[in-house]
Structure 1
Amino acid sequence: MHWLYLGTAVVFEIAVAVSAGRARGFTRPGWTTATLLSGGAATYLLSRALLTFDVGVGYALWTSAAGVGIVVLGALHLGQRPDRRTCAGIAVVIAGVVGLQLSGAA
């Protein structure tokens, strides 16, 4: 169940990034509300996942997966084009998450 909480927290964290970008400095009430609600949901679900995960590992997984998800979403739907360095950074993040899994920390 903790993986479900963590995965759903990642989805909400990606929603935070998209909503915050569209909120334009919190000047657009609908997007501002979406940012705050999705941020609250992401934090709540992360806290549920951290009942099982070590805090450092759970937070690292959450931020890493959300960061990669935001870059991928931006490339697929927001017209953002990652360069080679961005792709290399994503590969390093993925390798780190795999390393956490293989170490038995997650």
Structure 2
Amino acid sequence: MSWLYLGIAVVFEITVALSASKAEGFTNRKWTAATLVSGAIATLFLSQALLTFDVGVGYALWTSVAGVGIVVIGALSLGERPSGKQLLGIGIVVAGVVGLQLSGAA
């Protein structure tokens, strides 16, 4: 169940980033509200996942998977083009997440 909670937390963390990008420095009330509500939900589900995961591992998984998700959505939906160095960095992050999983830490 903790993996499900972590997955939900990741989805809402991605929503935080996408909403914040449209909040115009928190001057757009609708997107500001979406950012804050999504952040609260992401934190709620992360806290549930951390009942099972070690905090360092759970937080690392949450931030890194959400970060990769944001880059992928940016590339596929927003027309953003990651550079070769950025793709290399994403690959390193993915390898780190896989390493955490294989180590039994998560």
Q: Do these two structures clear the TM 0.5 threshold for a shared fold by scoring above it?
A: yes
Consecutive unaligned residues in structure 2, runs of 5 or more: none
Consecutive unaligned residues in structure 1, runs of 5 or more: none
Aligned position for 1:5: 5
Aligned position for 2:55: 55
**Deviation readout 1:51-75 (Å, 9 max, x if unpaired):** 0000000000000000000000000
Q: Which whole-Å CA distance do the structure 1 matches of 2:24 and 2:80 have between them?
A: 18
- Equivalent residue letter for 1:82: P
Aligned position for 2:96: 96
Aligned position for 2:64: 64
TM-score (norm 1): 0.99
Q: Which whole-Å CA distance do the structure 1 matches of 2:90 and 2:47 have between them?
A: 25
- Identical amino acids, percent of aligned pairs: 72
Instruction: Point out 4+ residue stretches in structure 1 off by more than 2 angstroms.
Output: none
TM-score (norm 2): 0.99
1:79 is displaced (CA, Å) by 1.1
Kindly report the root-mean-square deviation, in angstroms, between the aligned alpha carbons of the 2 structures.
0.4
- Equivalent residue letter for 1:62: W
Counterpart mapping for 1:67-78 below 5 A: 67-78=67-78
Counterpart mapping for 1:19-38 below 5 A: 19-38=19-38
- Equivalent residue letter for 1:22: K
Q: Which whole-Å CA distance do the structure 1 matches of 2:62 and 2:49 have between them?
A: 10
Q: Which whole-Å CA distance do the structure 2 matches of 1:2 and 1:69 have between them?
A: 19
